[in-house]
Chains A and B, each alone.
Chain A
């Protein structure tokens, strides 16, 4: 079964600790994305990556870091510098504009990780 996996589904951390959220895809997609969702709001883009070893900041990158060492994996680290880390985090992937003409290229999402920091 092809898809995107995120683990764990629920994560609890103490304030001041860094935490890494996992995202893996076996869709052979070039592009991967991280979004944050707060209650009553839409998704906001944190980071995205179009190819391995390259990534770009989204709209709310402060306090977050990512890496893209493998095509299949795009982990997100929530650092202690993130002021309000409690949120629902969604990872997505898409074929990428190397293969799909703009503006198509729909994004496919994982099940999400709900992070609670106390």
Chain B
């Protein structure tokens, strides 16, 4: 089974609207971390936001927030008031210890390409 699933290959959103990018994960480790990265066309991966499995509150960083639903094993990224510069690939990733070297390894989803329409 996929450890990280991003079911939206592409999304188109009007500028200034909010957008939710879906991410579901699979792990039996009670302690794990979830990360979101943005990859513009230049290729560099930009860290956006982190959520630990034991964190009591949903993570927020400026216009980014993480809708963490532990029982459903979902960690959706919400971008408020989208801007043209938000157009990029977005990757969800997880760190857990169910695999060898899991302390260090990040497992990435296949990504969602977000396009903001003026």
Q: How many residues of B contact A (CB 8 A)?
A: 29
Asked whether, in the complex, the Cβ of A108 is within 8 Å of the Cβ of B95, the reply is no
Q: Kindly report which residue of chain A lies nearest to residue B9, judged by CB atoms.
A: A40
Q: Kindly report which residue of chain A lies nearest to residue B105, judged by CB atoms.
A: A45
Number of A-B residue pairs, CB cutoff 8 Å, is 70
Instruction: Identify A42's interface contact among B35, B91, B97, CB under 8 A.
Output: B91
Asked whether, in the complex, the Cβ of A102 is within 8 Å of the Cβ of B101, the reply is no
Which of B4, B53, B97, B105 has most chain A Cβ within 10 Å? B105
Asked whether, in the complex, the Cβ of A31 is within 8 Å of the Cβ of B104, the reply is yes
- One digit per residue, 1 when the CB lies within 8 angstroms of any chain A CB and 0 when it does not, for chain B 19-51 equals 000000000000111010100001111110010
Interface residues of chain B, those whose CB is within 8 Å of chain A, are 4, 31-33, 35, 37, 42-47, 50, 52-53, 91, 93, 95-97, 101, 103-106, 108-111
- Shortest Cβ distance from A73 into chain B, in angstroms? 18
Asked whether, in the complex, the Cβ of A112 is within 8 Å of the Cβ of B44, the reply is yes
Asked whether, in the complex, the Cβ of B104 is within 8 Å of the Cβ of A97, the reply is yes
